[in-house]
Structure 1
């Protein structure tokens, strides 16, 4: 399916896995089209191949948004920039903006030191923006991007993206937060991690009851559960557990190729 046939504003799941390798899913990676913007949220291992399988126009990305620097969320970045440099039929000239939490520029500079200058110089301008939570930024293509600090790593953030009558929220990896739900209130789709069951959840990840609390405050049009560890996902009906924990809204499990129109309520 060509990009021209897709709705103007939508989410396409490219990767929804965890640090555990699985043959049917790449790690965290979410493609969002909003107006003229083509944005990739995180770029975990396997994401570049998933973008190709889904026939997404990865060479035309306008923005790359990072939630934190764990390998299952950024492990495919060197491959993506290597493909930008050598894998396009026609050289790209348009700039790419990389948005991330504090330390993003330093992180990319270290990647360039390890892999090569193509990480920051793939043949076109790469602008790197360290974003302060609570300070919305406007993308060149129009949507408004805002970060929210999350309890996972020192730098980790969740993201909200808003356009004209449309919105997208991405929790990244996060522990319990009473502020995350209000931050995401009213988005068309909320991609929210639900790593483990309530009995085994750690302080830096969410479980069904914790997700239910976030979603009940956010009230998205659709809650998309992601980053679910395979042993949990295979043993339980995770959306049902979220519902039993008190959230009555529409909920689904993420899978590669899932497409969601981003129309707000």
Structure 2
């Protein structure tokens, strides 16, 4: 997946891989789309592996194309919550899946989300058109309750955990045996997220604001350090950092100074990391 390929025709990666598609916030920035993360894992036989898109914020569809990712072959879409900077590009994605592929798609697409996801898609369809729910192939909508897990068609298991951000917001953990991946979505400080993310290959964790501006529905370096220290991921990827914070501070250093001793880096568009538990 390191070379650009036409949509829907990229070869499967030999190992699971995370690609940062968008890592921005509600503040528009020229060099990054809003929240969106691609995790692809190989498969055998008819399953053919999984290509999961976590959130789809504004600019994500164009970023998928810039990065050469096979957007037309997404198998699963996981939504953390319904704020516009995490779901704003969904109408464009489904319009592209309906009209933008050289070869029409037939494989189902499964949408995973918290309670209210089906109603959210029904409202999108009533506003934008039937292509949202009927793009020419089956769209399966599955709502996961907090602490619930389900197996994806390609093999990995997806689990949800409630986060203190909105009424419905959840964090996600994707477990594939040889790899694991965690995504906090947007969240405030939480004692549950560290154990939930324990030992993941990579933890994509929001770090919106400095400690001096800490809130109860977003994370700052001190609260990130607490979650990450409890989780002990192989790599901590800091994301959803408001630009005034990111450009004025060394955010990874602040997380380290707050007590996190593991490897950490800042997300950027196109950042790739191999996911492995070994």
Shorter-chain TM range is: over 0.9
Does residue 1:78 correspond to 2:91, yes or no? yes
The structure 1 residue matched to 2:187, chosen from 174, 190, 198, is 174
Match of 2:146 in 1: 133
Does residue 1:142 correspond to 2:149, yes or no? no
Q: Check conservation: 1:223, 1:249, Cα contact below 8 A.
A: yes
The structure 2 residue matched to 1:113, chosen from 116, 121, 126, is 126
Shift of the alpha carbon at 1:146? 0.2
Match of 1:22 in 2: 29
Match of 1:219 in 2: 232
Shift of the alpha carbon at 1:162? 0.3
Instruction: Report the TM-score, using the length of structure 2 for normalisation.
Output: 0.94
Shift of the alpha carbon at 1:133? 1.4
Does residue 1:93 correspond to 2:106, yes or no? yes
Match of 1:9 in 2: 16
SS, match of residue 123 in structure 1: coil
Shift of the alpha carbon at 1:6? 3.5
SS, match of residue 80 in structure 1: helix
The structure 2 residue matched to 1:196, chosen from 197, 209, 223, is 209
Per-residue deviation, residues 93-148 of structure 1 (Å, max 9, x unmatched): 00000000000000000000000000000110000001011121000010000000
Shift of the alpha carbon at 1:8? 2.3
Shift of the alpha carbon at 1:34? 1.8
Shift of the alpha carbon at 1:225? 0.1
Gaps of 5+ in 1: none
Q: Check conservation: 1:7, 1:261, Cα contact below 8 A.
A: no
Per-residue deviation, residues 54-95 of structure 1 (Å, max 9, x unmatched): 010000000000000000000000000000010000100000
Shift of the alpha carbon at 1:5? 6.9
Match of 2:265 in 1: 252
Instruction: Report the TM-score, using the length of structure 1 for normalisation.
Output: 0.99
Does residue 1:261 correspond to 2:274, yes or no? yes
SS, match of residue 161 in structure 2: strand
Match of 1:50 in 2: 63
SS, match of residue 199 in structure 1: helix
C-alpha separation in 2, matches of 1:5 and 1:39: 13
Shift of the alpha carbon at 1:4? 2.6
C-alpha separation in 2, matches of 1:178 and 1:189: 19
C-alpha separation in 2, matches of 1:96 and 1:39: 10
Per-residue deviation, residues 164-210 of structure 1 (Å, max 9, x unmatched): 22100000000000010000000000000000000102110000000
How many residues align? The count is 265
C-alpha separation in 2, matches of 1:4 and 1:164: 21
Does residue 1:102 correspond to 2:115, yes or no? yes
Match of 1:33 in 2: 40
SS, match of residue 196 in structure 1: coil
